[in-house]
Amino acid sequence: MSPEKGSEDLRLQHLVDGIVRLAAGDLEARVEPSERGDEIDAVIIGVNLLAEELDHIYSDLEQRVADRTAMLRRTQDELERMAKMDALTGLANRTLLNERIQEATAASVESGLAPAALVLDLDSFKAINDTLGHGAGDAVLVEVATRLRAAVRATDTVARLGGDEFAVVITEATDEEILDIAHRVSAHLQDSVQVGTETVWARASIGVCIGTPGYPAEALMRDADIAMYQAKIQGRNTIQLFHPDMLDAVQERSRITSELRSAINGDEMALLYQPVVELASGRVTGLEALVRWHHPSRGTIMPDSFIHIAEESGLILELGRWVLHEGVAQLMRWNTTAPDLAGFHLHINLSAAELLRSDLLADIQDTLKSHGVAPQRLVLEITETVLMSRGALEQQVLGSLRDLGVGLQIDDFGTGYSSISYLRTLPADTVKVDHSLIQDMCSNPQQQEFVAAILQLISAAGLTAIVEGIETPEQAAQLQAMGCLYGQGYYFGYPLVADKVLDHIRTPVPPR
C-alpha cells in the first residue's frame, strides 16, 4: 500500500469518527483538514461547517429554553403571589395571612415573642354601600387598606379577610407594642374619607389576641375575632383585648341559639301587650306586641337577652314571622270577643333583616286577609337607624307597605340621627320618642325645653308623636301640656297577657 493511499484512509477514518461524535451530541467535535485541498478535505470542511451551524443552533435553542423557563418561573411566581393577595386592595388574603401566622408561631419558640392578631370590622360599611353604591364602597376599602399599612410596622402583615373585614398579624413585639399598634390603627381610621363629593367615615371595631409561644394559629384568629365581636357589642369604634371569658360567652351564645331555634318552632314563645293611650282621655288606642321566651329551666327570658342573638343567627326572620302571625291572630280573637272595642291598632317591631325578607309583603297581606284584619290596624315599628340606612330594596318594600295601608312608625327616636331634614323624608306616619329623653324631664327644666322642641320638630314634619317610658302622672301631664297626644309606659299599664287586655281597655287611666 502506498503512503498516499494510507494517508487518505486515515483522513477518512478521522472523518467517520468526527461524524459519529457529532451524531452522539458532541457539537464541539471537529476534523482537521490536510493541506491537499482535495475532495476529502472539502467534505471535512463541509462537516466542520455543519458542526459549527449545529453548535450555534443548539446554543440558541438552549438560551431560548432558559429564557422560556425563567419566564414560566416568573409567571408561576406571579400567579402564586396573586393567589395570596386581595385583588381590590393589594393586601394579603386569608391564605397568605395563615402562612405568616404559621411562620411567626414557629419562630416564636426561639424568640419567646409569639405573634398577635388584630381583626377589624368596619362599623358602617353597609350604609356606605347602600347609599353611595359599591363603587364608593370599594374606594373606601382601598383607602382603609392604605391607612392600615401606614399604621403598622414593615414586619407586620395586613390582610383583607373579605367584605369589610381586615386583619393584622404582628410579630416580634411586646404586649405594650401590640396594644400601641392597635390604638394607632384605630387612630388612623378616625378621619373621614372623601368619596367624590361625599364625606363618609370608616371607623372599625377591633379585636386583639396576644398569643403565647406555641399558640395555635387557628386559635389566634378565632380569639381575635371573638374580641372584635365584643368590641361591636361595647358600642363599636372600640378596641377589645381577648380574654378566656369571651370564649365562654361565645359558647353560651351558641347554646342559646340552638335552644332559641327549638323555642320558636315549639311552644316556648309568647306575646304580651302593652297599651298605647291617648293622653287627654286615657283611652287605649293601640297595643304593642312584646315577645317573651318562657324557657323550661331558666324561666322567662326578656328580649334584650335573645333578640341580638336572633339577629346574628338569622333566626330573627322566623321569630318575626311568628310574632306577626300570632299578633294578628290575637287581634282577630279580640274582634270576635269584643267587637265594640275593636278600634285599636296592633304595633309590631320590624327588624332590618325582616325588611329584606323576600316574602314579607305577601306574608303580611295573606296574614291580614286570612284573619279578617284591616291593614290600617297594623303598625310596624322600625328603628330610626334602619330607616336612615335603607337601600333601594328597603325603600321599595316600605313604599309597598304604605300603599297597602299598613302604618309605619319610627321607633327609638332620639337615639340616632334625629334631624328634621331626615324626618321630612322618612316613610312613616308616627314617631315613638325614646324613653331616655323624658327620664329627667320633671326635675330638669332644660330637659323639658329639649323634649318640647323635639315634639315641635316631629309635628313640623307632619308626624304624630308617641312618647314611651311614661311612669308617673307628672310626666303624662307635662307631655300633654307640651301638645303630645299619645303615650306608653308603666303608668298606663305593664305588658299584659292577651286574656287581661280587654278588661284593661274597659278601665282606662283617668286623664291628668
CATH number of 185's domain: 3.30.70.270
Residues 224 and 290 both lie in one domain: no
Residues 205 and 71 both lie in one domain: no
Residues 183 and 297 both lie in one domain: no
Does residue 507 form part of some domain?
no
Q: Using a pLDDT cut of 70, give the percent of the chain over it.
A: 93
d(CA 220, CA 345) in angstroms, rounded, equals 51
pLDDT band at 509 (very low <50, low <70, confident <90, very high): low
Tell me the pTM: 0.63
Does residue 55 form part of some domain?
yes
Residues 300 and 223 both lie in one domain: no
CATH code assigned at 383: 3.20.20.450
Residue 487's identity, in one-letter code, is G
Does residue 181 form part of some domain?
yes
CA 229 and chain centroid, separation: 11
d(CA 363, CA 369) in angstroms, rounded, equals 10
d(CA 284, CA 272) in angstroms, rounded, equals 15
Length of the chain: 512
Residues 46 and 173 both lie in one domain: no
The C-alpha cell that represents 153 in the structure block: 410596622
DSSP character at residue 465: E
The pLDDT tens digits for 430-471 are 999 999 899 888 889 899 999 999 999 899 888 999 999 999
Residues 101 and 29 both lie in one domain: no
Residues 128 and 43 both lie in one domain: no
Residues 116 and 25 both lie in one domain: no
pLDDT band at 497 (very low <50, low <70, confident <90, very high): very high
The two beta strands, 378-383 and 407-413, are parallel
Q: Are 484 and 478 in contact (CB under 8 A)?
A: no
Does residue 504 form part of some domain?
no
Q: Are 437 and 398 in contact (CB under 8 A)?
A: no
The C-alpha cell that represents 477 in the structure block: 301631664
The C-alpha cell that represents 2 in the structure block: 502506498
Residues 318 and 276 both lie in one domain: yes
Neighbours of 181 (CB within 10 A): 20
pLDDT of residue 13: 82
Residues 330 and 474 both lie in one domain: yes
DSSP character at residue 410: E
Q: Which residues pair with 465 in a beta bridge?
A: 431
Q: What is the torsion angle, in degrees rounded to the nearest 10, for the CA atoms of residue 253, residue 254, residue 259 and residue 263?
A: 70
Q: Which residue's C-alpha cell is 377591633? A: 206
The C-alpha cell that represents 120 in the structure block: 377589624
Q: From residue 54, give the alpha-carbon distance in Å to each of 30, 288, 378.
A: 12, 95, 93
Does residue 494 form part of some domain?
yes
Residues 391 and 486 both lie in one domain: yes
Q: Which of 43-47, 143-147, 237-241 has the lowest mean pLDDT?
A: 43-47
pLDDT at 4 over 60: no
At residue 122, what are phi and psi to the nearest 5 degrees? -65, 140
Domain boundary among 20, 50, 80: 80
The C-alpha cell that represents 207 in the structure block: 379585636
The C-alpha cell that represents 508 in the structure block: 282606662
d(CA 255, CA 222) in angstroms, rounded, equals 18
pLDDT at 311 over 90: no
Domain boundary among 242, 268, 298: 242
d(CA 81, CA 96) in angstroms, rounded, equals 9
The pLDDT tens digits for 48-95 are 888 888 888 888 888 888 888 888 787 676 666 667 899 899 999 999
Is pLDDT larger for residue 25 or for residue 211?
A: 211
Q: What angle do CA 184, 189, 194 make, to 5 degrees?
A: 150
Q: Using a pLDDT cut of 90, give the percent of the chain over it.
A: 47
pLDDT of residue 388: 64
pLDDT of residue 2: 44
CA 19 and chain centroid, separation: 75
Domain boundary among 179, 214, 242: 242
Domain count, the chain: 3
pLDDT of residue 415: 67
Q: From residue 194, give the alpha-carbon distance in Å to each of 140, 144, 189, 393.
A: 8, 12, 13, 26
Does residue 86 form part of some domain?
no
Closest of 452, 509, 512 to residue 483, by C-alpha: 452
Q: Which residues contact 32 (CB under 8 A, 6 or more apart)?
A: 14, 44
- Dump the DSSP string for 158-193: EEEEETTEEEEEE-S--HHHHHHHHHHHHHHTSS-E
d(CA 415, CA 468) in angstroms, rounded, equals 13
pLDDT of residue 416: 56
Does residue 271 form part of some domain?
yes
Does residue 512 form part of some domain?
no
- Its domain, for residue 197, covers 94-242
At residue 443, what are phi and psi to the nearest 5 degrees? -105, -5
Residues 336 and 476 both lie in one domain: yes
pLDDT of residue 9: 64
The two beta strands, 299-301 and 284-295, are antiparallel
